Amino acid sequence: MKKRKLGKNLTVSEIGLGCMTIGRDYSSEAKQEAVRIIRRAYDLGVTMFDTAELYAEGRNETLAGEALKPFRDKVVIATKCGVMFEAGHVSGNASGKMIMDSRPEKIRSSIEGSLKRLQTDYIDLYYIHRVDPKVPIETVAQTMAELHREGKILNWGISEPSMETLRKAHEVFPVSAVESEYNMMWREPEQEILPTLEELGVGLVPYRPLARGFLTGASDGMYLHDAKNTRFDWKNLAANMALKNFVQDLAAEKNVSAAQISLAWLLAQKDFIVPIPGTSKMERMEENVNAANVSFTDEELKNIRELLEQIPIYGERYDPESDNGKSVRR
């Protein structure tokens, strides 16, 4: 698989693997399959693996660490700190209240936990999972610079920041990557994020590049269970099927899958974009990775963009009153 750069120093495969949903029930069978998926992804050329201390209260990091241990020095591990759920939250219940905490002492305790669970001495890419409005981003950046000097992290990033916040952070200690949702259904990053990242030399790592499975053509994607995402509520889902049908038609024309069209389209937007699709199924992972072999002509990209502009999207990616809705673009 071809490589791309995030920031100045981080080289990764052009498609990564989001590990959040892998082995989600953490049964023995699911964990074994998760390890198989991660190691198969590596065999196929994937070198970037994304997790977080928040995912299953650290168990996802433990699983990823076990799977990646045989070739740790050949891969990039990305993980995140700065968000937890309130006490009493039931693991797997996304309705729990999110608590932002990016105090230096909290970041330091988090990195020690992540290093232990991931069975590693350093993190290649360490993100602030969400911006904590109570802690100046300059303080966060300074803490990350200290961890870098200590050899505990090699690069750092921010998930879902405003561009004003990114600029402040980048001035203190250069940011390698920003995580943001970006897909054919949510193209807001094209307005300000992409131009700013290009200017600063920062990479973009789109999560949910398949819009929670909506763009895959599957009828049982996670979007059907996403009550907080108004794009998929009963009022808007039927109207938004126009986009899904459009992607499926494109896939049929090129004799590839809808997921591969969606991921290849993202790759074609900028050379500093590295999507991290996640899945708990081996065949889906292999399908996603093979999107790297799908290409478009300039004329095809121009036509796709013109047609996308004509397809309205109804609803928002987050309920504005939800914790997620309040925590992005700070």
| The pLDDT of residue 87 | 63
**3-state DSSP call for residue 127?**
strand
Q: How confident is the model at residue 93 (pLDDT cuts 50, 70, 90)?
A: very low
Q: Which of 42, 55, 182, 223 is catalytic?
A: 55
Quick one: average pLDDT of 265-271?
A: 98
Query: What confidence tens digit (pLDDT) does each residue in 4-30 have?
Result: 999 999 999 999 999 998 877 778 888
Q: Name which residue leads in pLDDT, 204 or 316.
A: 204
| The pLDDT of residue 73 | 97
Alpha-carbon gap, residue 27 to 18, rounded angstroms: 19
Please enumerate, as own/partner, the contacts of 300-304 that have beta carbons within 8 Å and a separation of 24 or more. Answer: 301/265, 301/268, 304/250, 304/265
Distances (CA, A) of 113 to 120, 139, 150, 155: 11, 21, 16, 18
pTM: 0.94
Q: Is 55 a catalytic residue?
A: yes
Query: What confidence tens digit (pLDDT) does each residue in 63-91 have?
Result: 999 999 999 999 999 999 999 887 654 44
Considering only 90-99, 193-202, 277-286, 298-307, which range has the smallest mean pLDDT? 90-99
| The pLDDT of residue 190 | 97
Nearest residue to 169 via CA among 191, 200, 124: 200
Whether 102 contacts 131, CB under 8 Å: yes
Alpha-carbon gap, residue 317 to 159, rounded angstroms: 15
Domain ranges of the chain: 3-327
Domain 3-327 has CATH 3.20.20.100: yes
Query: What confidence tens digit (pLDDT) does each residue in 188-245 have?
Result: 999 999 999 999 999 999 999 999 999 997 766 676 666 578 898 888 999 999 999 9
Quick one: average pLDDT of 261-269?
A: 98
Is it the case that residue 296 has pLDDT exceeding 70? yes
Query: What confidence tens digit (pLDDT) does each residue in 124-145 have?
Result: 999 999 999 999 999 999 999 9
Query: What confidence tens digit (pLDDT) does each residue in 24-63 have?
Result: 777 888 899 999 999 999 999 999 999 999 998 899 999 9
Alpha-carbon gap, residue 251 to 263, rounded angstroms: 11
